[in-house]
Amino acid sequence: MKGKALSSVPFFDNRITRLTGIDIPILNAPMGGVATPELVAAVAEAGGLGLVPGSIGSKAATTFIRVMRERTNRPFGANIPVSFSEASIVDTLVEQRVRFVTTSTGPVPAFVPRLQQEGIAVFHVVTSLETARRAADAGVDGLIVEGSEGGGLRGAQEVPMMVLLPLVASHIDLPVIAAGGISDGRSMAAAFALGAEGVQMGTRMVASLEAGVHENLKNAIVAAAETESIMINRHHQRPIRVLRTATTEKYLDAAAGDAFKEIMYDTLRLYSDGDMESGFASVGQVAGRIDGMLPVAEIIRRTVEEFGQAVAALARNHLNRQS
């Protein structure tokens, strides 16, 4: 696509594409058990930045990366969700010569300078202006800004993308990737208008052909209304946004136990057998906008095309050129 920008199909050139060597600044969320090598390789092959989920452990990540390299020559990265990861994942990613790493689930970890010395760019996941400032002070190369509408573990303070993204972008001069509520070109264009230079898709990618979960979950996302994604576990300082089921709605209650401790591992049965009452399915509010299961390449192709149309239509439909 390089150098051949059509009117509605943009050619991206910004800090994210230059830093990572990708063509299209779209990332898959690094979802353990969901983002399979097939899914992550499909993102990379489509021109996006595939992220390997570090939560699967060092041994599994090594195999994952080997399969990725058999499937694609294009760049990809990895995520280290610090509070759910083995310490050895850092050595594994260095040994495997991964060039881009995101760190999440807490403050900037002490191993970040080591990754950077190895030539790895590190982006940290933030959920407030305060956590973004702390990450910038710790010297990370960029930020993943996560809005509270997104699926999965959320920040203790719940700030939606519409407020958080322009706030962070206007105060901190680092490249920003937006995560939360992005499923198509219109939402990607909105994120870019708010200051992002890339987007990360979670829920949209769960409902993809390549996602490693049972069809019941993919179909549930396609069928879900925007109101069926609920924030549970708030009372244990680890809110998590999930699909409403009889099992998960119990954890709305302040008196309920910690969903991470009680039901997290049951989620594996939900993924493999499609038992929707096992564990919790991390699903964002954007499920309400997802109306079909698609191959990853098609999600990215449609998003890029619609992004170009959306950006062009804004000026065409709303600006008066006569004045």
- Give me the residues that bind ligand FMN (CB under 6 A), please: 29-32, 34, 53, 55, 79, 81, 104, 125, 146, 149-152, 179-182, 200-204, 206, 282, 284, 286
User: What's the closest the beta carbon of residue 6 comes to ligand FMN, in angstroms?
Assistant: 27
Q: Which residue, 203 or 309, has its beta carbon nearer to ligand FMN?
A: 203
Contact call for residues 77 and 50 (beta carbons, < 8 A): yes
User: What's the closest the beta carbon of residue 82 comes to ligand FMN, in angstroms?
Assistant: 9
Q: Which residue, 75 or 288, has its beta carbon nearer to ligand FMN?
A: 288
First to last CA, the chain: 36
Q: Which residue, 9 or 264, has its beta carbon nearer to ligand FMN?
A: 264
Q: Which residue, 41 or 191, has its beta carbon nearer to ligand FMN?
A: 191
Contact call for residues 274 and 216 (beta carbons, < 8 A): yes
Nearest to 44 by CA among 13, 11, 67: 67
Q: Which residue, 202 or 308, has its beta carbon nearer to ligand FMN?
A: 202
Decide: helix, strand or coil at residue 35: coil
Q: Which residue, 32 or 308, has its beta carbon nearer to ligand FMN?
A: 32
Three-point CA angle 303, 307, 309, nearest 5°: 120
Output phi, psi for 265, to 5 deg. -70, -20
Q: Which residue, 11 or 86, has its beta carbon nearer to ligand FMN?
A: 86
User: What's the closest the beta carbon of residue 171 comes to ligand FMN, in angstroms?
Assistant: 21
User: What's the closest the beta carbon of residue 150 comes to ligand FMN, in angstroms?
Assistant: 3
Nearest to 10 by CA among 301, 251, 275: 301
Residue whose C-beta lies closest to ligand FMN: 202
DSSP 270-301: HHHH--TTSS--B--GGGGG--S-B-HHHHHH
Residue 118, judged by CB atoms within 10 A of its CB (0-12, 13-18, 19+), counts as middle
Beginning with the edge strand found earlier in the chain, give each strand of the sheet holding 240-243 in spatial order: 152-153, 240-243, 229-232
User: What's the closest the beta carbon of residue 255 comes to ligand FMN, in angstroms?
Assistant: 26
Nearest to 104 by CA among 112, 93, 96: 112
User: What's the closest the beta carbon of residue 104 comes to ligand FMN, in angstroms?
Assistant: 3
User: What's the closest the beta carbon of residue 229 comes to ligand FMN, in angstroms?
Assistant: 8
